[in-house]
Copies of this chain bind each other. A is one copy, B any other.
Amino acid sequence: MPPHSIGELASLADVKPPTIRFYEQIGLMPAPRRTASDRRVYEPEAVARLAFIKHARQLGFPVEAIRTLLDLADHPERSCGDANRLAQQQLAAVEQKLSLLASLRTELSRMVSAGCDGPAGECRVIESLSDHGHCLGDHGPADSTIRS
């Protein structure tokens, strides 16, 4: 397998070139060698490393956790206790978000199915938002930032 340009690596791992440069900047990806004209040249190993990072990010691991996981993957002789602990934490975080989102869905679908057509003064949606009756308990804020 030949080496790759940043654009090739990007499309192989389905990320964008600036993301790879960003990962290099924060030290998740090692700085690759360069051509005479300063372009990045990636060896085939970089594909697997970038895929590992992407997979971990898809699972919601924070960058600092990924740093630890990559470090373990780079040093197979160490104990994998940290990896297990991080995975458990991430599972707990995901389960917490799931239960929060499930209650948001309940309230939103109540709002939506009460759907109305007239003036905003009688709007069920706005009424629901003003109403503290069916309000959620003391959950934190929901988060509207899953992209793509």
A135 interface contact, C-beta 8 A: yes
Query: A108 to B129, alpha carbons, bound, how many Å?
Result: 35
Which one, B51, B107, B123, contacts A83 given CB within 8 A? Answer: B123
CB distance from A139 to the nearest CB of B (A): 6
Evaluate contact between B108 and A59: CB separation under 8 angstroms: yes
Closest to A15 in B: B141
Size category of the A interface is: 35 or more
Q: Interface readout for A84-97 with B: 1 if CB under 8 Å, 0 if not?
A: 10111011011111
Taking CB atoms, residues of chain B closer than 8 Å to A112 are 84, 87-88, 91
The reply to whether A123 and B91 form a contact with Cβ atoms under 8 Å apart is no
Q: Are B94 and A98 in contact (CB under 8 A)?
A: no
A61 at interface by CB-CB < 8 Å? yes
Give CA–CA (A127, B81) in the complex, Å. Answer: 14
| Distance of A121 Cα from B98 Cα, bound (Å) | 32
Sampled A-B contacts (27; CB under 8 Å): A48-B130, A51-B130, A55-B135, A58-B139, A59-B104, A59-B108, A59-B129, A60-B104, A60-B141, A62-B144, A69-B126, A72-B126, A75-B120, A76-B119, A76-B121, A76-B122, A77-B119, A80-B116, A80-B117, A84-B115, A90-B108, A91-B105, A91-B108, A94-B108, A100-B146, A141-B147, A143-B143
